């Protein structure tokens, strides 16, 4: 029976999506640094994405391993090698991925039976509902991990568990979200979160199972810190009826150059080259533009964004995840025009590395929670440019609660694969205005910048030894030990 952290063996199930997988790998390393044994269960393609970080952890003598399981892709109608949500060609195939994920339950159970030492606790993404049953069969606790922070998590809880949206007629009508400390206004479409995916055939049952599994979980692990959203940590715990441990920002756990440069995927630019370019710029003069691994802009919107940055006359690094032949042609001339003050990164950007540089003074973000929290941890104000899912709620936290951001004016959610239906929803003038506002050192801009800096300092203190997130990690591990002590049935007798 586990009596100290070194006796614990955590088994982690990260969702196969960058915004969820990256923080789970950080959590794995945090637990291993606290002397626990950690096993990460994922698929071959996803294991390759974070292999360098895990290899470095193993070289540092941390007790961490990755076990790869095959997804039944052909059986559910997915292309070979399509193991991550960012590889799925159409949102209509998301339901197929969830079907493949469900089929991981049996092989996962076989893996857990063979683990030495025996597993002590499962930490899994909420989108693996069967892991609650798996934990019960082993007589160990299961902690649930969500992508977003406590504010957004609570807002989604209210939306899902009340009739608030049914009372709103139009998707475009703004309403005040009830039951929270701050006044938050958003539209029905923005609050819907999952939108089209939730309405797909078979997904209603999946979401019901996910909700029931969460009710049966033993606690919630959140990538956030108490000082960022104190009212919402407490209210979330009350709403869920279980303990909530804020243990982040987990991106601050490792600050080595390689860990920051290779966090997530191999970058589309050498990290050293990126830093050299930033070294030529004045402190807090550059704005970083990156809209996440799942976001994709129409050709018209790419042009408007580029022109807005050009009009602002502010130095920038712009990460473009994917391009078309049309945008490539346009970008070739554009890069020549802005070469003295603009750097284009094609593909994955070393985001944490860039944000940590003193030359960066602002961040245009899609408001995925990973990016939002990385911006907070870097102490920079943000231009919020949400696209879908929980991103509009994260925007409201940044703009209305923390007051460290400026909205770019995006109002209509654009689901994955639907970018070309909308064209350019945000015009270059709005982009120019928002960028200049967030980089402005005077008036409200100065106050916004100061608040952002203070939150960045709080984030660093939270992760340091004795800080709130460090202490919460200790308390979470102690709670697992106490839960295991309550289970008097030896694990070998469970089967």
- Give all domains of the chain, ordered by start, each with its CATH number: 5-253+465-485 (3.40.50.2000), 265-459 (3.40.50.2000)
Helix/strand/coil for 170: coil
pLDDT, residue 197, reads 64
Q: Closest Cα partner for 5 from 37, 41, 46, 27? A: 37
Winning range, highest mean pLDDT, from 29-38, 157-166, 328-337, 420-429: 29-38
Q: Closest Cα partner for 96 from 16, 214, 23? A: 16
Question: What is the mean predicted confidence (pLDDT) over 259-287?
Answer: 78
Classify each residue of 222-257 as buried b or exposed e, where b means 16 or more C-beta atoms within 10 Å of its C-beta.
bbbbbbbbeebbebbbebbebebbbbbbbbbbbeee
Q: Closest Cα partner for 42 from 64, 75, 63, 60? A: 64
Query: Quick one: pLDDT band at residue 255, thresholds 50, 70, 90?
Result: low
CA–chain centroid gap for 450, Å, is: 25
Q: Give the bridge partners for 346, in sequence order.
A: 320
Question: What is the mean predicted confidence (pLDDT) over 315-323?
Answer: 88
pLDDT, residue 494, reads 41
Please give the residue that has the higher pLDDT: either 19 or 261.
19
What mean pLDDT value characterizes the chain?
A: 90
Say which residues have a Cβ less than 8 Å from residue 444's Cβ, sequence separation at least 6: none
Q: Give the bridge partners for 345, in sequence order.
A: 319
- On the question of pLDDT at 264 being above 90, the answer is no
Question: What is the mean predicted confidence (pLDDT) over 228-234?
Answer: 96
Of 59-68, 162-171, 468-477, the one with minimum mean pLDDT is: 162-171
Q: Does the global pTM surpass 0.85? A: yes
């Amino acid at each position: 029976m586990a009596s100290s952290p070194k006796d614990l063996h955590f088994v982690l199930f990260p969702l196969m999506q960058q915004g969820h997988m990256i923080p789970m790998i950080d959590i794995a390393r945090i637990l291993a640094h606290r002397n626990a044994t950690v096993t990460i269960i994922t698929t071959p393609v996803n294991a390759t994405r974070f292999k360098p970080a895990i290899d470095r952890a193993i070289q540092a003598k941390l007790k961490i391993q990755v076990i790869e399981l095959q997804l039944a892709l052909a059986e559910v109608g997915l292309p070979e090698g399509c193991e991550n949500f960012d590889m799925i060609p159409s949102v209509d195939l998301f339901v197929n991925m969830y079907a493949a994920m469900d089929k991981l339950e049996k092989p996962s159970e076989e893996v857990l039976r063979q683990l030495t030492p025996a597993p002590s606790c499962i930490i899994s993404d909420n989108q693996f509902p069967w892991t609650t049953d798996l934990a019960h069969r082993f007589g160990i606790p299961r902690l649930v991990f969500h992508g977003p922070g406590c504010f957004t998590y609570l807002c989604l809880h209210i939306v899902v568990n009340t009739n608030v949206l049914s009372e709103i007629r139009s998707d475009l009508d703004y309403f005040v979200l009830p039951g929270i400390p701050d006044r938050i206004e958003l539209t029905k479409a923005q609050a819907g979160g999952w939108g089209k995916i939730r309405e797909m055939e078979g997904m209603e049952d999946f979401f019901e199972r996910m909700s029931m599994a969460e009710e049966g979980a033993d606690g919630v692990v959140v990538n956030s810190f108490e000082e960022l959203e104190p009212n919402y940590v407490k209210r979330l715990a009350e709403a869920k009826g279980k303990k909530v441990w804020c243990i982040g920002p987990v991106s601050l756990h490792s600050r080595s150059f390689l860990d920051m440069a290779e966090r997530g995927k191999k970058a589309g630019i050498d990290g050293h080259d990126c830093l050299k370019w930033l070294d030529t710029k004045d402190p807090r003069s550059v704005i970083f533009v990156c809209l996440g691994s799942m976001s994709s802009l129409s050709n018209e919107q790419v042009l408007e964004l580029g022109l807005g940055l050009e009009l602002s006359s502010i130095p920038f690094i712009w990460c473009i995840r994917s391009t078309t032949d049309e945008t490539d042609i346009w970008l070739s001339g554009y890069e020549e025009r802005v070469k003295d003050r603009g750097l284009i990164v094609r593909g994955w950007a070393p985001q944490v590395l860039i944000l940590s540089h003193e030359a960066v003074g602002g961040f245009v973000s899609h408001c995925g929670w990973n990016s939002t929290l990385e911006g907070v941890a870097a102490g920079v104000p943000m231009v919020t440019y949400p696209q879908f899912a929980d991103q509009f709620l994260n925007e409201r936290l940044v703009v209305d609660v923390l007051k460290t951001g400026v909205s770019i004016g995006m109002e209509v959610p654009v689901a994955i694969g639907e970018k070309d239906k909308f064209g350019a929803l945000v015009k270059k003038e709005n982009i120019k205005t928002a960028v200049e506002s967030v980089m402005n050192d005077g008036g409200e801009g100065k106050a916004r910048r100061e608040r952002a800096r203070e939150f960045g300092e709080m984030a660093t203190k939270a992760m340091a030894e004795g800080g709130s997130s460090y202490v919460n990690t200790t308390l979470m591990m102690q709670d697992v030990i106490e839960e295991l002590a309550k289970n008097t049935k030896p694990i070998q007798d469970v089967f």
